[in-house]
Structure 1
């Protein structure tokens, strides 16, 4: 018990974040996410996409659909203009910003009942196919 109390006092049981990045087909994708978290804690989740020349009319991100099941959410900022999901992937379509960089935040915390972490692939979708992808994993502590 004293080991757990000491670990908590040293903030060893709190949220830890990681960043994964990939570049392909002119896109640069960076995902900042909770790599370790506990139920009830706020967690950062942010995706940044850059593309020389901008994005056209819209930008679509694909995320493994069940990844977000561990979160209680306040929503995406900005909100997607469209969302859809097939058997495996949640597709989030955003109105493209001016310029060559897009940033979206997911305002969330880990659900109190969540006990198992999740793996996900986050991808930039262009022409219906993933063009830049990263794999992420959020582990949950008791």
Structure 2
């Protein structure tokens, strides 16, 4: 799960740093989801639950692949010059990630659609607050 510290750090960052925080948090969430699904599939006894776990595992695998496509080209810096090093299995044109930053943010936000289950979970979580002293 994403910590409050990560959320605060993401809120204070922009550009490539924001992209890195976002993609790392998404990847960690997908990994945790896959672990939970694997446990349900191997240890679960209810057919509906194991089928749902299999569907969720496929979905998170698809999302991870999509995330890899979005981050296929990672920037490397050399003095003032930014160059692009292709990521694993990259098939995208060699462009600067900085030129695609806002597109990545828009794409990830456009892919996320709140569901009833998300609203129920969010209802039980404490709201993030800034601590003042």
TM-score by length of 2: 0.26
**Highest RCO, 1 vs 2 (Cα 8 Å, sep ≥ 6):** 1
TM-score by length of 1: 0.25
Q: Which structure would you say has the larger Rg?
A: 2
